Structure 1
Amino acid sequence: LDRALWQLNGLGSRLDKRAHIFVISRRGGRPVQLTDGPWSVGGPFLTQVSYTFSTDGKLIYYLATPDPEDDWIAARKVDIYVVEIDGSGRRRITDFPGMFSAVKESPTGELLAIGNDLALGTASPQRLWRIDPESGDYQPVLPDLDLSLGDGMTCDVRFPTKDHDPWISPDGGRARMRITQRGAVRLAEVDLRTKSFSWLTPDDLSVLGWHSTPDGALRVEIRSTMITLPELWIIRGQGIARRITHLNDRLLARRKVIPARSVPFTASDGARIEAWVHIPRGRRKGGRPLVLAIHGGPKAVYGHYFFLEFQMLVGAGMAVAFSNPRGSDGYGEDWAHAVHGRYGERDYQDLMECVDHLLSLDLGLDPERLGVGGGSYGGYMTNWAIGHTDRFKAAVSQRGISNWESFFGTSDIGYFFNPDNVGGLPWSDPEQYREKSPLTYVEAMHTPLLLIHSEQDLRCPMEQAEQLFTYLKRLGRTVRLARFPEETHELSRSGSPNRRMERLRLILEWFKERL
């Protein structure tokens, strides 16, 4: 190894591997490599929409890391390049301060790209940019839109889809893409001439993926709501959406699916927080247990999407609450940036005030039977919460973080994620790293804790759970560690079916036994 950016969750060791462009005739034959060098097409995370053909088929525009890659810059800078179809004339078009994640050529000759300028780090939104392919000048299409393009939704029934954003109309006057708005992922259309936009889908569902005919007259979407699993829907022109698949009807017909109630509240500093709760049917004498779910990210959202884990818990008689506290996607740049360098502060307050709010309502909840759980950042916040309060009687921390100092050196993203999100560097800001690490507060942790972690997780490495587990065992606390072999950070979403089922069983049993 001679570089820090050598591994990627879900891919494994990258070592000297690079992603490059090859062309192959549709009639077959040997592929011809067009690009080569110590840099990667698609950027450090190998984005899907990493290249596009020019309308005349003579050029390929593509995204790439700097040449040569630098450990720091390669993780924070992706520009647009162009190469002729025979491999000649390669040149960089843009000198962008951040990272582009998609590029398409418009029939007008200009380029449209999706990218984050990283003005406030990862809290800054993904925007739509208009680019001159000759000069490299770039301008945001909707500079006043304080929302992030793309899918920020977190759930456990999603699956990889080919990203179609942005779609461009044949005359180059319109573009379509998905935008995360509050608790939904919506499809929007932008008028590139007037720089205005309109929503194509409602705010009570999310669009997981979509595609359309070249003229945009017909499109197909994968839609889901809090009570419906993903299915295909077809829309002709401005007509009404029509569902065309029924893959999950038989499954849902045999199960009781409980809708969520919207329970927004005003935080102690006056901010309005969106929250929801699934309440089991009927009333139980003495009240029902409540599990607080915390999403990952932190720049992600809960909302209008089916969540299998939530339905499983509510089906077992437990209420499940979920919200979008400070740090979440979908509510603007300042909202997402509010936690940078301040993990465990306003975000923690928002979550605790969410519980307080729910207990103040007439929902039949038992304040003595509270649980908490989450994954990734949600696992971090679960660890943080039980180190700062004893109100929870059971906790489940999945693929979480306990020690920011070791995370910096072992995670595939640690060395560039930490300075942005935690603040500073472990050798120059050791007190900041200790203050924000849940492990620092381990002596205050009394809540029975189930740790769920994957052995091939390179995002939040296994050692994060091992450290917390060992510390708590030495203190004589109730803790259990479930290790999943051959799985990555994506266990809950794309793990093998048997291990995903085992994960759900462990969560259910842990909460049932203690709540």
Structure 2
Amino acid sequence: MVRRRLTPADLLQLRTVSDPQISPDGTRIAYVQTTMDGHANQYKCRIWMVSTAVGSTPRPFTFGPELDYAPRWSPDGEWLAFISARQGRSALWIVPSQGGYAHQLSCLQDIGGAPVWSPDSSSIACVVHVGPKGPEKDNWPHRTSEVRFSDDVLVIDRLWYKLDSAGFMVRRHWHLFTISVTGADRGKFTQLTFGDTDYSEPAWSPDGGSIAIADNRTPDGIGMTHFNDIWVVPSTGGVPRRVTSSLGPADHPAWSPDGRLIAYIGHDRRHGGYTFPGIWLVSASGGKPRELTANFHYAIGNHAIRDVRGYKEPTIVPVWAQDGRSVYTCASVSGAVNLWRFSVLDGKAVQLTHGNRVIYNLSFNRDVRQVAMAVTTPTLPGDIWAGDVNGIRIQARRITEVNRDWLTSVVIAEPVRFTFRAANGPEAEGWILAPAHRSRFDQKPAVLQIHGGPTVMYGHAFFFEFQLLAGCGLPVIYSNPRGSFGYDQDFAAAIRGDWGTMIIWT
């Protein structure tokens, strides 16, 4: 087959996979597959299911007309909860895990994040965008007709008042709710937090008695004060209790198996906004947090950027080993994002996956013996992989090939790495994506791509725009100058308060 060059219309042929959720028994993976509808100018996504065995055939699991996403298995493996916008606004739905009729669990709408099951599979925690009239009655600001001046005038008194895909943030806040799944109270919801503040990332304690959640209560808390704390709320209702110390951002709480500690992702702002996020541990009863990754020289999390993404992809969070002796998460190193394990005793880091790849979503099964990952490379938009968690290395196997036909019909360029040294600075790296019919050393026009942030990194991820330019005959040069994450802390913080004065090239 003669391969052709990319065209802008190829973007509409791409299938993006994200948010792989492995079943508690490790036999199946539910994931989100997103496509772009050029006629309707919108995303469409469904939940798909695939066995963890190599050679399995994926199949669609939900059939909503527009957006089904954020699948989450119940701990007993009987149900799959997900969020759907099939009725216009995001609501919580559940479906039997073996397949069947999906139905909306409650009347709550405008649900954010992902549903979080209680340990006994009896209820679900989630955050809901609540307005002044409450979750059942408030419909502002979605009403577009019969606008009344006295009702809908916005008084904006904070910096962050609007968000892409969420709309206006004024007069509405994200609050914690629980929804019953079983018994006579099925579908009944309970609001657990209140006030002029926003909560996110709920996590149940192992005994189901408490929920840890992130919240910012500093003045103008959803503005530019980059402080978050972890709070603990009784799952039956009560006053939230702060357990961290307002050192800086603190997000994505995860309880240790014995319920004594909470791990979270954050930092203490010692380098301002350029401080690497790390894994921190704090007692569930509160106290001084300890940075588990204090001696780790790279940023925790996925900081690689790319332009082909799934709908509402989740953030990679810390996950405890079943014995409570270590914590798993990803780290960004030299353009790659791989899975690491950190010892709770001494912070010792062990890299479990290797290679020029970016893991952008992942999940573990019940006993943390198997992992499902969404992976991209410079020549692969993304696929689902699975691996067994044992020893010091995970041998991952590719489970899906969602863009196989498309990839065999078009020319995809392979980037070439190079290094350079800035004046009085450290060695930095970049890549040249050369058209297939040209040498990367040709003295002809090229496109220099400069990333924003600046605390993100270019790396081993697929970029449609770069491939399109290369298909047009233009070499693409992209690099990670100082300020980028993916290297050491000094490299990232070098431009703090000093933008634009350093010479990049020598």
> TM-score w.r.t. structure 1 length?
0.63
In the other structure, the counterpart of 2:252 is 102
In the other structure, the counterpart of 1:39 is 197
In structure 2, which of residues 204, 227, 238 is the aligned counterpart of residue 88 of structure 1?
238
In the other structure, the counterpart of 1:13 is 168
In the other structure, the counterpart of 1:301 is 457
SS in 2 for 1:334: helix
In the other structure, the counterpart of 1:175 is 327
For 1:299 and 1:275, how far apart are their aligned partners in 2? 16
For 2:221 and 2:395, how far apart are their aligned partners in 1? 49
Q: How far did 1:65 drift?
A: 1.1
Q: How far did 1:63 drift?
A: 0.9
SS in 2 for 1:274: strand
In structure 1, which of residues 245, 251, 266 is the aligned counterpart of residue 406 of structure 2?
251
Q: Using a 3 Å threshold, how does the CA distance of structure 1 residues 288 and 103 change in structure 2: closer, same or farther?
A: same
- One-letter amino acid of the structure 1 residue matched with residue 298 of structure 2: L
Tell me the percent identity: 29
For 1:266 and 1:56, how far apart are their aligned partners in 2? 53
In structure 1, which of residues 320, 326, 333 is the aligned counterpart of residue 489 of structure 2?
333
In the other structure, the counterpart of 2:368 is 216
For 2:352 and 2:304, how far apart are their aligned partners in 1? 18
SS in 2 for 1:122: helix
- One-letter amino acid of the structure 1 residue matched with residue 263 of structure 2: L
For 1:20 and 1:298, how far apart are their aligned partners in 2? 31
Q: How far did 1:287 drift?
A: 3.9
For 2:235 and 2:296, how far apart are their aligned partners in 1? 36
Root-mean-square deviation (CA), in Å?
2.0
Answer yes or no: is the 8 Å Cα contact 1:279–1:320 preserved in 2.
yes
In the other structure, the counterpart of 1:356 is none
For 1:277 and 1:286, how far apart are their aligned partners in 2? 12
SS in 1 for 2:381: coil
* Structure that is richer in strand per residue: 2
Q: How far did 1:309 drift?
A: 0.8
> 1:259-274, aligned counterparts within 5 Å?
259-274=414-429
In the other structure, the counterpart of 2:207 is 56
SS in 2 for 1:309: helix
- One-letter amino acid of the structure 2 residue matched with residue 290 of structure 1: A
In the other structure, the counterpart of 2:70 is none
SS in 1 for 2:470: helix
Answer yes or no: is the 8 Å Cα contact 1:169–1:214 preserved in 2.
no
For 1:90 and 1:173, how far apart are their aligned partners in 2? 28
- One-letter amino acid of the structure 2 residue matched with residue 105 of structure 1: W
- One-letter amino acid of the structure 2 residue matched with residue 267 of structure 1: A
Tell me if 1:141 matches 2:292.
yes
Answer yes or no: is the 8 Å Cα contact 2:278–2:299 preserved in 1.
yes
For 1:218 and 1:135, how far apart are their aligned partners in 2? 32
In structure 1, which of residues 112, 117, 128 is the aligned counterpart of residue 263 of structure 2?
112
Q: How far did 1:81 drift?
A: 1.0
Q: How far did 1:34 drift?
A: 0.7
Q: How far did 1:96 drift?
A: 2.2
Answer yes or no: is the 8 Å Cα contact 1:158–1:208 preserved in 2.
no
In the other structure, the counterpart of 2:229 is 79
For 2:462 and 2:176, how far apart are their aligned partners in 1? 37
Q: Using a 3 Å threshold, how does the CA distance of structure 1 residues 170 and 278 change in structure 2: closer, same or farther?
A: same
Aligned length: 342
Q: Using a 3 Å threshold, how does the CA distance of structure 1 residues 75 and 233 change in structure 2: closer, same or farther?
A: same
Q: CA offsets per residue over residues 157-212 of structure 1, 9 Å max, x none?
A: 12232335111111111111111112111111112123201111114111011111
Answer yes or no: is the 8 Å Cα contact 2:232–2:242 preserved in 1.
yes
Q: How far did 1:89 drift?
A: 4.1
For 2:369 and 2:210, how far apart are their aligned partners in 1? 27
Q: Which has the higher contact order (CA 8 A, sep 6+)?
A: 2
SS in 2 for 1:194: coil
Q: Using a 3 Å threshold, how does the CA distance of structure 1 residues 122 and 9 change in structure 2: closer, same or farther?
A: farther
For 1:178 and 1:169, how far apart are their aligned partners in 2? 14
In structure 2, which of residues 165, 188, 196 is the aligned counterpart of residue 30 of structure 1?
188
SS in 2 for 1:255: coil
Answer yes or no: is the 8 Å Cα contact 2:242–2:286 preserved in 1.
no
Answer yes or no: is the 8 Å Cα contact 1:66–1:73 preserved in 2.
no
Q: CA offsets per residue over residues 43-86 of structure 1, 9 Å max, x none?
A: xxxxxxx211111001111111117x435887321111111112
- One-letter amino acid of the structure 2 residue matched with residue 321 of structure 1: I
In structure 2, which of residues 277, 291, 298 is the aligned counterpart of residue 126 of structure 1?
277
Q: How far did 1:2 drift?
A: 2.9
For 2:454 and 2:364, how far apart are their aligned partners in 1? 32
Q: How far did 1:40 drift?
A: 1.1
SS in 1 for 2:271: strand
Answer yes or no: is the 8 Å Cα contact 1:177–1:188 preserved in 2.
yes
Q: CA offsets per residue over residues 373-402 of structure 1, 9 Å max, x none?
A: xxxxxxxxxxxxxxxxxxxxxxxxxxxxxx
For 1:328 and 1:296, how far apart are their aligned partners in 2? 9
In the other structure, the counterpart of 2:25 is none
Q: Using a 3 Å threshold, how does the CA distance of structure 1 residues 270 and 85 change in structure 2: closer, same or farther?
A: closer
SS in 1 for 2:265: strand
For 1:269 and 1:22, how far apart are their aligned partners in 2? 53
For 1:283 and 1:72, how far apart are their aligned partners in 2? 49
In structure 2, which of residues 380, 405, 408 is the aligned counterpart of residue 228 of structure 1?
380
Q: CA offsets per residue over residues 325-345 of structure 1, 9 Å max, x none?
A: 011011122222222222222
Q: Using a 3 Å threshold, how does the CA distance of structure 1 residues 283 and 40 change in structure 2: closer, same or farther?
A: closer
SS in 2 for 1:263: strand
> TM-score w.r.t. structure 2 length?
0.64
